[in-house]
Structure formats: structure tokens, C-alpha cells
Amino acid sequence: MTGEQFEELIGELFGLDGYLVEYTPITGDQGIDLICKKGKESISIQCKRRKSNVGNGAVQEAYAGKLYWDTKDSIVVTNRYFTSSAISLAKALEVDLCDRDELSRMIDLVKEKWLESEKIIEIIVNSGYGALSARGADYEYYITLMMNLLKYKEHFPHRLIYIYNNLGLLHSRLENSTLAIAAYKEGIRTVAREEAGVLVNNLIVQYIQLRQYEEAKRLFNEYKEFNFDYLKENMFSL
């Protein structure tokens, strides 16, 4: 998930909780990404999508941003945790902190709403695919995201092919062919046959990489309507 996607996700979550959400300009935002208002409440929010814990700098920026945007409160939201120094400073400056545990609780509070939010589902699914081309991406994290989505799969059947495909590709990147094959197989069983082409294709490729040619050949013949001739010609002899 990119920093921009993370900001969109947080904005959508606050919007689902009844806030009017304003995204600040890319430049000149004074460290604030979102302004959220509901009734007499006004909150300036800084979103930190990080690979490591968040330190003092974010708290200082959030405090300054609250003064600049003239909001009642300010929050730093992150997918990680905060350093002990940042927690102490936030308490002194009265800046609220939302770490990954608090964020998870917030998501649970609006669960019934976000499950119906096309935007949120799109952000999460796209972040899984985007991780495949991101240097140093935490594949395990994105696998967990995809698995959590599947707990509620009845809410977005048209997204399932992408979620299962992401899972298979992510497991493959971690060289866990057993879990990759399991993800593709479950996806093929779950989605409509006419939608399963990409999953079948990737499963055949996985079998070929493992030299399990008989399994590849069986799938190739079972799903001939998808026209996988390029696999037959270039990768194995049928």
C-alpha cells in the first residue's frame, strides 16, 4: 500500500464514521494530510505509512499542523507503532496517536460500513497487487490483508478473482509454492468458470516451474476454452 493509498483508506474510514473529509494539497500541507469535521469536532490528521515505528518528527508536525489548519484536535495515524519518545511528546502536546492496533479497532467499529465501500475494497485489493512491483515490500503483511478480506468475501464477489490472484502471486514471491497453489485452487473453485482464466493460467505456470507437467497438462486440457496455446508451445510438450 502506497502512502497515497493509506491516506485514502484513512479518509474513507473517517468518512464512513460520519466525518466530512477534506484532503489537503500535496504541497504546503504543513504535514497534515486530512481535515475531518463532524459537528463541533475538527481534526487534522497526519497519515504515516511506514516500515518502521514512527518517531518525534511526526508528532511535532501534527502539532504544528493543528495550529496552521486551526483544528480542535490532531491525530497521527500509522500502520506501525510509535517510539516511546513520540508517545511522551504526544502526551505533552496533546496530540492523539493511532497505531496499527488502534487502527484495527477503528476498522472493526465501522466494519459493516466499510464492507460495503467499493473504494476501501479497491484500495486494499490494489495495494496487494502493487506490492508485487514495490522494492522491499512486506509480502507477509499483504498476504494477511488479502486473507482478512476473504473472511467477508460474500460482500464483494466481483473482487475475489483479484484477491486470490494476489494471494497466489504473493506466496509465489515468498517461494511458498504449496500455499500459492492452494490459493489458485481455492480461487478457481470459488469464482465462476468463465472468470477463472488468470487463476488457471498462473496455476499452470506454477506447476511448470515445479516440473509437475502432468498436472499442468491436465489443467491445460480441462480449460481449453481459455486458449493457453502459448504455454504449450513455449514451456512444455503436450
Q: What is the pLDDT of residues 8-19, one digit of tens each?
A: 999 989 988 889
Contact 146, 128 (CB under 8 A): yes
Q: What is the CA radius of gyration of the chain?
A: 22
Contact 97, 90 (CB under 8 A): yes
Contact 206, 184 (CB under 8 A): yes
As a dihedral over the C-alpha atoms of residue 99, residue 116, residue 164, residue 150, rounded to 10 degrees, the angle is 70
Contact 98, 45 (CB under 8 A): no
Q: For position 105, what pLDDT does the model report?
A: 85
State the Cα–Cα distance between residues 223 and 104, nearest whole angstrom. Answer: 40
Which residues in the chain show pLDDT less than 70?
Answer: 231-238
The β-bridge relationship of strands 96-98 and 41-48 is: unpaired
Q: For position 152, what pLDDT does the model report?
A: 87
Q: For position 233, what pLDDT does the model report?
A: 55
DSSP letters spanning 174-215: TT-HHHHHHHHHHHHHHS-GGG-HHHHHHHHHHHHHTT-HHH
Kindly report the number of other CB atoms within 10 A of residue 85's CB atom. 11
Q: For position 33, what pLDDT does the model report?
A: 94
Q: For position 63, what pLDDT does the model report?
A: 95
Q: For position 232, what pLDDT does the model report?
A: 63
Cell triple for 170: 504473493
Q: For position 206, what pLDDT does the model report?
A: 94
Q: What is the pLDDT of residues 67-78, one digit of tens each?
A: 999 999 999 999
State the Cα–Cα distance between residues 141 and 138, nearest whole angstrom. Answer: 5
Taking the mean position of all CA atoms in its chain, how far away is CA 146? 7
Q: For position 124, what pLDDT does the model report?
A: 84
